[in-house]
Amino acid sequence: MGGLKNPIYLNPNSLVKMPPSHAPVPYLGNALVFPPARSAGPDGLLAMGGDLKPERLMLAYRSGIFPWFSDDSLILWWSPDPRMVLFPDELRITRSMRRIIGKKTFRITKNQCFAEVISACAETSRKGQDGTWITPGMEAAYIRLHEAGNAVSYEAWQGSELVGGLYGVDLGEVFCGESMFTRVSNASKAAFIHMVRELEEKNYRLIDCQVHTPHLESLGARLVSRAQFLNLLKGEDQGHGKE
């Protein structure tokens, strides 16, 4: 299972050198502010620059925006349209996964080794991507976010060996998935399913998966428009994003 961010159509490496026809992209200075998410370009790119301080990251996620960039570019901020989301009660679990979970093939924990999880995600190769978007600066930023109680990891173990996991940002009622890794088949999937079930028990209304992957779709995630997503994020859409 690959990471949450692994689309081919939305690749930060391909957008570092933008063609002359690309609309001007706002540059963020030191002020803690973003353009409205709805003003992002057709490719989802909203702004560049700024920093990865916890305050800016949390403002971004609460505004429907996330950072994603290659290790040799400015920080790029995105709000794609459409947006991939999973409603916890729409999670799909195959019979084979139910058997794996029933056999307790993996032991799932939460926040036991956040730094190891994000490091493993950074080291995982992704189809269609050169290098990693989880730069050392990104790792440090999300570790700070975790220390502040805003970033969360779920881990899958076999014995004492970490074999899979994922991390994301917890907004309370909305969880923003960032990336996942697996070293043993189905390990990250088991961690993901455990997370979704836990969030459903806590009455979370939405999991932001950001961009489409076939794997996430197989688990029940689906695309909604950016406008719908922003309403869901604010709790203004109670209809599961269905128009």
pLDDT tens track for 168-193: 999 999 999 999 999 999 999 999 99
> How do 45-49 and 27-28 pair as beta strands?
parallel
Rounded-to-integer distance, Cα 206 and Cα 160, Å: 32
Which domains, and CATH codes, for the chain?
12-80 (3.30.70.3550), 84-233 (3.40.630.70)
Name residue 139's beta-bridge partners: none
DSSP 4-61: S---SSS-GGGGSS--TTSPP--EE-SSS----GGG--TTSEEEEE----HHHHHHHH
Structure tokens at 40: 């992002």
Sequence-separated (6 or more) residues with CB below 8 Å from residue 128: 6, 7, 8, 11
pTM higher than 0.85 for the full model?
yes
207 strand-pairing partners: 86, 175
As a whole number, the mean pLDDT across the chain is 90
Please give the helix or strand (H or E) that residue 139 lies within, else none. helix 136-147
So what's the pLDDT on residue 159? 98
Is the separation of the CB atoms in 190 and 165 below 8 Å? no
- Contact indicator for 28, 34 with CB cutoff of 8 Å: yes
- 43-66: per-residue pLDDT in tens? 999 999 999 999 999 999 999 999
pLDDT, tens only, 184-219: 999 999 999 999 999 999 999 999 999 999 999 999
DSSP state of 147: H
Cβ atoms within 10 Å of 72's Cβ, excluding its own: 9
223 DSSP 8-state letter: E
